[in-house]
Amino acid sequence: MYKTSEIIRFITITFGYSWIVWASLYWWTDLPIVAIVIIGAFGPSISGFLTMYRLRGRAGVRHLFRKSLQFRINWKYYAIPFLLVPFLFLIAYWWTDRSDALIVREPWWIVPYFLYMLFLGGTLQEEYGWRGYLLDALQSRLSPLWASIVLGAIWTSWHIPLFFMVGTGQANFPFWAYGLTVISYSVLISWLYNVTSRNLWSALLMHTMFNVMLVMTGLHAETGYPIGFIHLTITVLTAAIIIIWKTYGKLNYEPLEEFIPSYPSVTHRIREGKESQ
């Protein structure tokens, strides 16, 4: 069982690092907004690696890193991020009756944007924490559905400062729609993560493709009322409801042998060593 104190510590480090960095760089430097967002976005993954190191030392860090390099996935699961996710965005795009998106004008940009979003667009900065540690911790204590909803709510709340920073994508979206979209998408990521036996690479792909398609369909830069993003909220929520219904709310979760609880934490081992001297 993952300890509540460890989960709270993870969340505290995640929010503390990101919120302090974002606020400090935004108010007291002249860095471009993109650079500010990128630097602050490392909070979840930094916290994830620190948590794993505290619990298991270097072995925990290696374990977390290796989870993201499990590229052997059945082709039908690769179809989820590369086909289903674009499909959901395209439905919202066509529903909005737009015709000037990058995916229509210059679709080849999807490749460089994929690489950018994977390495600097939020995926690697966040997923070693959100799905690398927190989802497993929450699913050990809550039902898979509630774990995904709670994670989605935390994930949404973590983005709050970006809604007050001019030039971010979040500044263009209603908070309620953004939150509902993120929570719904959290359910989809959890489902793919679980059905691939907790393969972190699948979560990386899901996160990356969401950000890629947000740019490729132009929804990140909508002017006026963001009706396109509202349509996206509806399509993602519908997909999440279908997955919940098809899996009876279990999101294909199967308890596996826990990696962390089998070993005393680094702090505990150090304390025991000092006590024995």
From CA 132, how far away is CA 1, in angstroms rounded?
16
Predicted pLDDT of residue 261: 46
What is the sign, positive or negative, of the torsion defined by CA atoms of 44, 45, 51, 54? negative
From CA 101, how far away is CA 84, in angstroms rounded?
19
Predicted pLDDT of residue 223: 77
Predicted pLDDT of residue 262: 43
Whether the Cβ atoms of residue 28 and residue 36 lie closer than 8 Å to each other: no
Residues of the chain where predicted confidence (pLDDT) is lower than 50: 259-265, 269, 274-277
pTM for this entry: 0.91
Predicted pLDDT of residue 274: 47
C-alpha pair distances (Å), 211 with each of 5, 28, 114, 272: 32, 28, 8, 46
Distance of CA 162 to the CA centre of its chain: 16
Half-sphere exposure of 185 toward its Cβ, with a 13 Å CA cutoff?
A: 28
DSSP 226-255: -HHHHHHHHHHHHHHHHHHHHTTT-TT---
Would you tell me how many other CB atoms lie within 10 Å of the CB of residue 149?
A: 19
Please tell me what DSSP assigns to residue 122. Answer: S
| Residue 251: closest CA among 181, 199, 194, 207 | 194
Predicted pLDDT of residue 239: 98
CA dihedral 228, 233, 236, 242 (to 10 degrees): -130
How big is the chain by its Cα radius of gyration, in Å?
19
- Hey, where are the domains in the chain? 4-276
Predicted pLDDT of residue 224: 80
Element (H, E) at 185: helix 175-195
The single-letter code of the amino acid at 69 is L
Q: Which two tokens stand for residue 267?
A: 């702090």
